[in-house]
Structure 1
Amino acid sequence: MTQSVVVQVGQCGNQVGCRFWDLALREHAHVNKRGLYDEALSSFFRNVDSRKSDGGVCGVGGRIQHLKARAVLVDMEEGVVSEILQGPLREVFDSTQLLTDVSGSGNNWAVGHMTYGSAYRELIVDKLRKAAEHCDCLQCFFLIHSMGGGTGSGLGTRVLRLLEEEFPDVCRIVTSMYPSAEDDVITSPYNSVLAMKELTEHADCVLPVENQSLVDIVNKISLLSHGAKPGLTIKRDSTVISGQGGLCGAEKPFDAMNNIVANLLLNITSSARFEGSLNMDLNEIAMNLVPFPRLHYLVPSLTPLYTLADVNVPSRRLRPSLPFVSWNQEGWKTGLCSVPPVGHSHSLLALANNTCVKPTFMELRERFTRLYRKKAHLHHYLHIQGMEESVFSEAMSSLSSLIEEYHHLDATKARLIPDAPRLNIAR
């Protein structure tokens, strides 16, 4: 059985990661009724024997089993990590795998990437190596971070580069939270474009998730949950929304949004954790879906996002409606897992490598250009040691080149398949 390590960087990365571990434990507890440490659990958890009963998972032969997440938590502010260590999951994380500071990155990519990246390089590498040493067969690193802030975008992409340097043969799958156009961080276009260059050069696969899409989804579900349409009632035991099915007023503000992303990661890894009639290796994602190394931005689609109490409709077949490029008509990989998410009879995750990400990147470039044209807030970056204005132009050039590559594929497709339908990022 292979193992994977989750690396959570920044406030958003650790909040999403916390929801991932909570839901993963619930999913395994639902399947593993006897509470035994098995191969499925070993994918993301390691077993630590102890005589203490606190936080114990089960007892076998008089020995208490404790689970420790295969995770590395990094944040340059203490808040979120401290909250996790005071919460119900505190026993799941190894304190030696945590790295925090007190001042934060000030929404500045350069501070996270260059200042903290240089200061904590050896500590980060040490924690990554220790996490890898606990694995019998390390298959993948999952990096979770946001693009708009300073630590997630800056230090997150520095960690990504370190993963490539230290573990070049281990797959790197990155879940990146993209800011909306109304983001309250004024420098988020700078941070996002600077981070994009690193993602394009050092990741094997990137799963871009738009904050605005998550907001739209949660608002739609909230509308349904309050009976906007007669006969549509959302089940309370659905973990796709939250522990309370999205219907509990005691939720934290971003729990519903973070749980959607956490379920995305659960679905990606289900075949690596559970039995199925057609298992899919995590390495096969990049092998089958990334024909060009730079074009590795995969659009995730997940259904169901909520469970209706009185309706159970199976997912429709997608393949007949999707146009494929002429030289790769069989560019389709299927994995079938026998264990659906808790609260659901079925679940479907689709990862699509297509050109629908181009408008998002073009909008990001436009927002960057509006700031950079006036040199607004640029001095906050240029006073950081090692940061020069050429870094901005190189990042902009990298993004423009990426957009042009997608534009070229779009033009080719238009000539071959006029007016062809395509998947769009969920709005």
Structure 2
Amino acid sequence: MITLRDYQNELLEGIYQSMSRNNKRIMVQSPAGSGKTVTMSELVRRANLKRNRVLTVVHRNELVSQIRQTFNANGVDWLLSEVGMVQTISNRVKKNKVSAPEIIVIDEAHHALSKTYRDIIQAFPKAYVIGFTATPYRLNGQGFTDLFDDIVLGKTVKWLIENKRLAPFKYLSIDLINHEKLKRQRGEYTQKSISEAFTKTIYGDALESYEKYARGLKTIIYAYNVESSKKVVERFQQHGYKAYHLDGKAKTQERLEVVEKFRKGEIDILTNAELFGEGFDIPDCHCVILLRPTESLSLFIQQTMRAMRYQPNKQAIIIDLVNNWSTHKLPDTDRDWQKYFKGKPPREKSDVSVKQCPNCLAVIPSGHRECPLCEHEFESDYGSAEYAYEKVELEEITEENVIKLNFKKPSECKSMKELYELAESLNYKKGWAYYQGKALGLI
């Protein structure tokens, strides 16, 4: 049996109390790295002792074996338990090959609003549903109250760091992309616009930053697409590092083998595109490098906190080369998850989108492809130029930087001073603040 920590027992007690209030569908929030799988295993073990059958639904195939190992270690009764990936379980349900459970446990439950999960839940209307997640958040701002009756909140990231349950971190950042190029589709940035937004120095910066701040540390790099991930890994390999690229096309067996090599230290640098976020647990990963801008709070938290699994005397290094912190603040920022659970509007765009001409320094609406004053063509600044490898200085991001982000959008600023503070916090030029001030009637 696995001995639970105090806060994990508190989570279970919170679930039981919610059940006693006649809630049948309960979401459980606890930060990434806090041991949700262990807590789930104890919930299942105790249910089995009462002869209750439990069905556990997992988001990714790689996590099935990881969860099974934890369940085995905690003495789960496999005659009364089933664990499977959501698609597999869904197909089995359609064929009536799943025994009716008393409890359905959902890992990464922020996905549970999708039709596949709903179909499984609706197939067993009498079952309790307990969904675990670090981030009860949807990119479109949709809440979860139409599926879950209640939410049980765990300890904060700050509490877990202070009590040596998560590793403290050092957050380093610089903005290397042209944010005016970023375009949204269904709330998130498109792959095409991300490619167009990157400056030509990005790959060199990843290597230089690693060598300056994290040399020798086991590192996961989150690239924005397959091509960029491959270029990054080639750059690291050329400099003698044991680096490996993985993406969604890799078969499950290859992924499992690469992850095991990474665990054993046979691979030092693991670059990936859209993999290894949720549930990916490597305690001795010390560093993550972000090369993918995102509007998703869930993705940001899952990626940054991969390096924050606790080890004695460990400090995680987070290198953010795309300025994601200015959108989402820091991993340990306190968040009102109850509000997100009920439904929070998605992040709003700035009231006025502008850019500055590099030739004559005029500030104009960002939609212009040519400066109306000097006829400078903006598209010529961002082409398919060869990537250069230049050194840059990163800045350590702390709560002091985050405080500057109190103003969410220009319309909330009451003076030009506040607009200039907002521009500085977002790494925008003063001309941006000036144009916003004119539009708001502050000048």
Q: TM-score when scaled to structure 2?
A: 0.29
| Greater percentage in helix | 1
Structure number with greater Rg is: 2
Q: TM-score when scaled to structure 1?
A: 0.29
